[in-house]
Amino acid sequence: MGGNQKEQVIILLKGNILNVFTGDIYPAEIIIENGIIKIVRKIQGNFEGVLLPGFIDSHAHIESSLMTPSSFAEATIPHGTTAVISDPHEIANVMGLEGINFMIEDSKSVPLKFFFTAPSCVPATEFETAGAKLGVNEIKALLERDEIVALGEMMNFPGVISEEPEVIKKIKAAKKARKPVDGHAPLLSGDELCKYVEKGISTDHECVYADEAREKRELGIKIMIREGSSAKNLKELANVGGDFLVSDDVEPEDLIEGHMNSILRKAVEYGIDEVEAVQMVTINPASHYSLDIGAIAPGRSADIILVDNLKNFTVKKVFIDGELVAKDGEGLFKIKGKRRIPLKGKLTIDEFESSKLEIQARGREALVRVMKISEGQIISLESAHELPIVDGIVQPLPDDDILKVSVIDRYGHGNIGNGFVEGFGIQDGAIASTVAHDSHNLIVVGSSTDHMMEAVNIIRKGGGGLVAVNPDEYMYLRLPVAGLMSHERVNILACKARQLNEFVCDMGSKLSKPFMTMSFLSLLVIPQLRISDRGMFNVEEQRFVNPLLDF
């Protein structure tokens, strides 16, 4: 064979295949040549299980798993995931283009196919301190890359509606590159929604209510039904119908149990047709993002999985490019090369006085704004509570579940925003994290200033991660990659994260995912009341508000 010729590798698979174009299931043989499906031929025979196209998670923030892409692949390939469309705006907010390049580089060390979107909103808003800015020129350059398949979720929906020049230029750049624009428009409705759609937004993963999803579908938006670790919308939206099933943000302890296979199982349980559910994680996203995957058909990559049936979705075998990469829940591949930890993205937080975490007021009581959170949702409502004032400082009421919350700028500018939050249930202690959407400043929630300062200093000295402190001890999960991720395997991270959540539960919290819930308190593009390093913020009114209502 000539030196420049590639050796032919031919593989034959047989089994019951699900045709995602027609919805039919029938026995067939599949001839694969050098990772590409060449022939699919109907045959006679009895086979166990069903061969499906590999699962695609069409909207995920890998950073939320606390794992780098290579570790994420180790966790998800055995569950049947063969492709992910990742919006790397978490690390982009911390490290800019260098962070995106790190994600792409690390993803190439594993068989799982990672596709990325160009983060459209870095920083997410002008009302917080971020570590980077991606302007129109940076977005244009990203969209020229083969690894980038879309413009990432356009969270600045007010900017789209008001036609802010830079926002519109980014959308036009995506159109010129013939790549779709992902959306992000929680609770947007009526004429404003029409304006948002008219500018070219193609998807939305933020629907919480059935009527909301229905209205968006009627206007042509493709609905991504989200079922992650914190935001769980599948049960509410199952009867509306959708185009994709996505995880959005998922924690390591959930990835131990499953990934898209778990979401599919729930989808069928909640009433979505089995074939339709499979299409939502295969051919639908592949078609939308113009990818040669998502179907068992000639010309497509031979990303194929064997499941027991279309109810349990227990994954028996996983093939990527025709190669067996997982069997019976165990990965059969090795990560290529040496994984690195980028130097950029370190914390820059100087020591500061504890008084900077306090809100001062006169009198004996103060009427304050409080962010109210609830299990399974990332929307935070605004409520009002009377809180005591002691020595001129507004005090939390842990017995009434009213705690202090602060966001501390990690990029060296010294900003600190303070407020109050309801719903964490912590009686005596604090939790803190450098995973805090979207700028990933240091966020801390606690029952007292002293506990909060202890938590802050542990993270500040440790370089980032998650920590919980009580009067007697603390537990710390270090995240050395930009304070967001670790190269550790999912079982190790899941064990540490589970222990950390149990530690917080022992402090009185009833939340199943307290750290992920806390991470969204600083996301200024989700209604209603939020907090950044510059203060409390009303998302609907797009303005900062004083935590004191009777100031």
261 and 135, same domain (yes or no): yes
Where among 228, 263, 287 does a domain terminate?
287
Cβ count near 314 (within 10 Å): 17
Of the candidates 329, 344, 324, 349, the one whose C-alpha atom is nearest the C-alpha of residue 407 is 349
Q: Is 464 helix (H, G, I), strand (E, B) or coil?
A: coil
> Does any domain span residue 348?
no
Tell me the chain's radius of gyration from C-alpha atoms: 24
Of the candidates 240, 256, 211, the one whose C-alpha atom is nearest the C-alpha of residue 225 is 240
Domain that holds residue 134: 54-287
> Does any domain span residue 242?
yes
Q: What single letter denotes the amino acid at residue 187? A: L
pLDDT at 167: 97
Check if the beta carbon of residue 314 is closer than 8 Å to that of residue 261: yes
> Does any domain span residue 95?
yes
> Does any domain span residue 14?
no
272 and 421, same domain (yes or no): no
The distance of Cα 394 from the centroid of its chain, to the nearest Å, equals 34
- Please give the tally of structural domains in the chain: 2
Pairing of strands 10-18, 55-60: unpaired
pLDDT at 212: 97
Strand order in 430-433's β-sheet? 393-394, 381-390, 365-372, 416-422, 402-408, 442-446, 430-433, 465-469, 474-478
257 and 172, same domain (yes or no): yes
271 and 395, same domain (yes or no): no
Q: What single letter denotes the amino acid at residue 75? A: A
Distance (Å, whole) CA 70 – CA 72 = 5
Strand order in 203-204's β-sheet? 203-204, 222-226, 244-246
Q: What single letter denotes the amino acid at residue 293? A: I
Which uninterrupted H or E stretch holds 455? helix 449-462
Of the candidates 440, 414, 524, the one whose C-alpha atom is nearest the C-alpha of residue 131 is 440
> Does any domain span residue 296?
no
pLDDT at 429: 98
177 and 83, same domain (yes or no): yes
Check if the beta carbon of residue 148 is closer than 8 Å to that of residue 117: yes
> Does any domain span residue 20?
no
120 and 223, same domain (yes or no): yes
User: What's the CATH number where 199 sits?
Assistant: 3.20.20.140
Where among 287, 319, 339 does a domain terminate?
287
275 and 363, same domain (yes or no): no
DSSP characters for 81-102?
EEEEEE--HHHHHHHTHHHHHH
- Looking up tokens 């929307």 gives 379
The pLDDT profile of the chain, 551 residues, written as one tens digit per residue, is 334 555 777 899 999 999 999 999 999 999 999 999 999 999 999 999 999 999 999 999 999 999 999 999 999 999 999 999 999 999 999 999 999 999 999 999 999 999 999 999 999 889 999 999 999 999 999 999 999 999 999 999 989 999 999 999 999 999 999 999 999 999 999 999 999 999 999 999 999 999 999 999 999 999 999 999 878 999 999 999 899 999 999 999 999 999 999 999 999 999 999 999 999 999 999 999 999 999 999 999 999 999 999 999 999 999 999 999 999 999 999 999 888 887 677 899 999 999 999 999 999 999 999 999 988 778 899 999 999 999 999 999 999 999 999 999 999 999 999 999 999 999 999 999 999 999 999 999 999 999 999 999 999 999 999 999 999 999 999 999 999 999 999 999 999 999 999 999 999 999 988 998 999 999 998 889 999 999 999 998 999 999 999 86
pLDDT at 8: 77
Number of H-type helices and E-type strands within the chain: 16, 28
Q: Is 304 helix (H, G, I), strand (E, B) or coil?
A: strand
> Does any domain span residue 394?
yes
Nearest-5° Cα angle at 22, 17 to 25: 30
166 and 269, same domain (yes or no): yes
Q: Please provide the size of the chain in residues.
A: 551
The distance of Cα 265 from the centroid of its chain, to the nearest Å, equals 20
pLDDT at 124: 87
> Does any domain span residue 231?
yes
Where among 287, 313, 328 does a domain terminate?
287
148 and 68, same domain (yes or no): yes
75 and 219, same domain (yes or no): yes
233 and 135, same domain (yes or no): yes
130 and 259, same domain (yes or no): yes
| Prediction pTM value | 0.91
